[in-house]
Amino acid sequence: MSELIPRNEVKTVAVLGAAGTVGASWTAVYLHHGFDVIAQDPSPALAERLHDFVDRATPALQRLHATTTQRGELKLTAAMGDLAPAQFVQENVPENEALKRQVLAQLDLLLDPSVVIASSTSALLRSQIVAECSRRPERIIVAHPFNPPHLLPLVELVGHSPESPAVRWAMDFYRQLGKRPIVVRKEVIGHIANRLNSAIYREAVSLVEQGIASVEDIDAAMTTGPGLRWAVMGPHLLYHLGGGPGGIAHYLEHLGPSQLKRWSELKTPALTDALKRAMIEGVADEAAGRSVPELEAERDAALIALLEALRR
């Protein structure tokens, strides 16, 4: 693989799908850290949506990531050809395999071979979305953030191999943004975090289906119990503590059977119309009249406070 552009020479970042939530969030991150951004999206609402999002996200970024760097300049475009000057690309087009294959193939031909191209896909396999890239597919990686990307540090990286130059390059690049990149060693649908998320949500929906608890109480069980612990340590390390002085070895030996018993009772719910109605009504009860923007603001304020507390 020929040389990639040195990370300290990256001055201009292209963000595709910038009118969407993830693309707008990435745009705010790059602008805050001093990168010029070429924001591309065919949506006629690009300017309104993006400027509004960046304005709302900037105070949080200033709190979480103090920087002496001057804010970058923003250029808006609907044309793919305007992305040619970019020295790094964050692609966020809709989660459609055919569309992503087409867009990544265009980028592969358009951009200098030294430029790393990162896709924010949440579930598609890298090997499939780069299948039509004929010039330099090995410089194309998956770099999946967790929403909202301007607040949450996680970025999941998938390359053509775990030790590929593009993956190593991206590890260092995202770290300079205050991110916590991790490497997915074997590509799989949903990467890591969304598979964990899906497993939890499957059981949350199953509990509703079985009539075991209300939507609000199920959510409360998460936010006032394991969710608080998981913000500090992951499940493996927490079960290590659960084993007492003997750690994870003691836990697996003496409490492993109880874990197996719980696993054996987990079910995959059938998403029937009746179950969907129960979930929709339960969420409405829990939201208690708060709109989606109001709930987003509440979530973001709590995330900022939590991130600041963890930093301390």
* Residue 1 forms part of a structural domain: no
Residue ending a domain, among 158, 183, 208, is 183
27 lies in the same domain as 156 = yes
pLDDT per position in the chain (312 positions), as tens? Answer: 469 999 999 999 999 999 999 999 999 999 999 999 999 999 999 999 999 999 999 999 999 998 888 999 999 999 999 999 999 999 999 999 999 999 999 999 999 999 999 999 999 999 999 999 999 999 999 999 999 999 999 999 999 999 999 999 999 999 999 999 999 999 999 999 999 999 999 999 999 999 999 999 999 999 999 999 999 999 999 999 999 999 999 999 999 999 999 999 999 999 999 999 999 999 999 999 999 999 999 999 999 999 999 988
* Residue 188 forms part of a structural domain: no
Reported in sequence order, the residue ranges of the chain that DSSP labels E, i.e. its strands, are 12-16, 36-40, 74-77, 88-91, 116-119, 140-145, 154-158, 180-183
49 lies in the same domain as 166 = yes
29 lies in the same domain as 151 = yes
* Residue 86 forms part of a structural domain: yes
217 lies in the same domain as 162 = no
Residue-number span of the structural domain to which 208 is assigned: 193-311
171 lies in the same domain as 294 = no
**H helix count then E strand count, the chain:** 13, 8
Q: Which residues contact 306 (CB under 8 A, 6 or more apart)?
A: 231
Residue ending a domain, among 125, 152, 183, is 183
Q: What is the pTM of this model?
A: 0.92
152 lies in the same domain as 258 = no
Distance, in Å, from the CA atom of 173 to the CA atom of 196, rounded to the nearest integer, reads 26
* Residue 2 forms part of a structural domain: no
pLDDT of residue 1: 45
* Residue 105 forms part of a structural domain: yes
141 lies in the same domain as 287 = no
Q: How many domains does the chain have?
A: 2
* Residue 231 forms part of a structural domain: yes
DSSP 8-state class, residue 84: T
143 lies in the same domain as 117 = yes
Total Cβ atoms within 10 A of residue 136: 19
266 lies in the same domain as 302 = yes
**CATH code at position 76:** 3.40.50.720
Distance, in Å, from the CA atom of 28 to the CA atom of 25, rounded to the nearest integer, reads 5
Angle, helices 193-209 vs 215-223, to 10°: value is 140
How far, CA to CA in Å, does 22 sit from each of 26, 53, 153, 235? 6, 10, 13, 27
47 lies in the same domain as 143 = yes
268 lies in the same domain as 198 = yes
**CATH code at position 305:** 1.10.1040.10
55 lies in the same domain as 142 = yes
* Residue 221 forms part of a structural domain: yes
180-183 and 140-145 strand pairing: unpaired
Distance, in Å, from the CA atom of 98 to the CA atom of 69, rounded to the nearest integer, reads 38
Residue ending a domain, among 183, 206, 229, is 183
* Residue 248 forms part of a structural domain: yes
Q: Which residues contact 26 (CB under 8 A, 6 or more apart)?
A: 15, 18, 90, 92, 120, 145, 149, 150
